[in-house]
Amino acid sequence: MSDRATVERLVKDFLSEHPVESTPDRELRAARFDAGLAFVHHEKGHGGLGLDSSLNGVVEQMFLDAGAKNWSGFNVIGLGMAAPTVYVHGTEEQRRKYLKALFTGEEIWCQLFSEPGAGSDLASLATRAVPDGDHYIVNGQKVWTSLGHVARRGLLVARTDPDLPKHRGLTYFIVDMKAPGVEVRPLRQITGQAEFNEVYFNDAAVPEADRLGAVGEGWRVSMTTLMNERVSIGRRRSRRGEGPISEAIKAFRAAAAAGTTDAATRDKLMSLWTRAEAARLTNVRAAAQAGVGTPGPEGSIAKLQFAELNKAILELCVDLQGTDGMLINDYTMAQPDHSTVSSPEADIRKTYLRSLANSIEGGTSEVMRNILGERVLGLPGEPRTDRDLPWKDVPRS
Q: List the catalytic residues.
A: 229
Is there a contact between 110 and 145 (Cβ–Cβ < 8 Å)? yes
How crowded is residue 167: how many other Cβ atoms within 10 Å of its Cβ?
A: 17
Strand 109-112 and strand 153-159: the pairing is parallel
Sequential DSSP letters for 19-64: -GGGS-HHHHHHHHHHTT-SSTTSPTTTT--S--TTHHHHHHHHHH
Cα four-point dihedral sign 204, 144, 339, 12: negative
Q: What residues pair up with 314 in beta bridges, in sequence order?
A: none
CA distance 129 to 15: 46
Q: What residues pair up with 138 in beta bridges, in sequence order?
A: 129, 204
Cα four-point dihedral sign 138, 143, 144, 147: positive
CA distance 222 to 292: 15
Q: Residue 370: which H helix or E strand, with range?
A: helix 365-371
User: Hey, is 247 helix, strand or coil?
Assistant: helix
Distance, CA of 28 to chain centre: 23
Residue 40 burial class via C-beta count within 10 angstroms: exposed 0-12, middle 13-18, buried 19 and up: buried
CA distance 312 to 320: 12
How crowded is residue 200: how many other Cβ atoms within 10 Å of its Cβ?
A: 16
How crowded is residue 12: how many other Cβ atoms within 10 Å of its Cβ?
A: 11
User: Residue 114 gets which letter from DSSP?
Assistant: -
